Structure 1
Amino acid sequence: MKNLLLTLLLAISVMSFSSCYSYRIATKNQEGSEITRLTAHSWFWGLVQKPKQLSTPNCDSLNIYGMSEVRVKTNLGYALVTVVSLGIYCPVKMEYRCGKPCPKNGRL
């Protein structure tokens, strides 16, 4: 009985941390930075979003105005929270990577 409970607990934790579905947007820009991860939260069926606008301080500090990759992911745990709350709360994981800066033209 104890082994069955541990196996069930392990299976639930593995499924809740695995990616349920994900979307990926990739451009032709070369990768210029490490992946930055954050979690966005939506409340009351999208009426309240935190953060409302995602900022990219690491891209802005490098004067890069493009992304090379953006991913939006959810997992079983996030989907379960959304269903149990009847859509009142919906979290998603987001990842992005800045593009490589353009080389400077001209003489040094």
Structure 2
Amino acid sequence: MKEGNILQKRLGLILISAVLLSSCAEHRLVVQRPNPDGEHAIVNSKAYLLPRGQPRNVADCQTNLIDEVRVKTNFGQSLITVLSLGFYQPTTIEYYCAKVPSDEGSTDE
């Protein structure tokens, strides 16, 4: 009887750990030829399941060039999404701006 109890507790701990560790997600969009060293901006986005549409998030890059975009969701954000039945979906978006490329063959830096 005790062995069955210990096995159930261990199995429960493994399942809870798997759920907690698998709840984070990150999606990355990277350009084919990166040109890093630009500005970095973090935006906390909130999407609502309403007929009026989604709010628009705009990267504030001085050069109007984006090098990489990362969309992240952590455990708390996922939990809020599940508890609200998907009506509210918070996420974090990171924009990495690219620097302006120099002309080919130019000696300017």
TM-score category by the smaller chain?
0.5 to 0.7
Q: TM-score if structure 1 supplies the norm length?
A: 0.65
Q: TM-score if structure 2 supplies the norm length?
A: 0.65
The CA RMSD over aligned residues, in Å, is 2.8
Are 1:69 and 1:96, in contact at CA under 8 Å, matched by a contact in 2?
A: yes
Q: Could you list the runs of 4 or more consecutive aligned residues of structure 1 that deviate by over 3 angstroms after TM superposition?
A: 45-48, 104-108
Structure 2 residue 40 is matched with structure 1 residue 35: yes
Residue 65 of structure 1 deviates from its aligned partner by 2.8
One of 7, 28, 51 as aligned partner of 1:24: 28
Q: Which structure carries more relative contact order (alpha carbon 8 Å, separation 6+)?
A: 1
**1:80 equivalent in structure 2:** 79
Summarize the alignment of residues 1-108 of structure 1 with structure 2, pairs less than 5 Å apart: 20-27=24-31, 28-44=33-49, 48-50=53-55, 52=56, 54-57=57-60, 59=61, 61=62, 64-104=63-103
Which residue identity lines up with residue 66 of structure 2 in the other structure?
A: M
Structure 1 residues 80 and 69 mapped into 2: Cα distance closer, same or farther (>3 Å)?
Answer: same
**1:11 equivalent in structure 2:** none
Aligned residues: 87
Which structure 2 segments of 5+ residues have no match?
A: 1-19
Which residue identity lines up with residue 54 of structure 2 in the other structure?
A: Q
SS in 1 for 2:37: coil
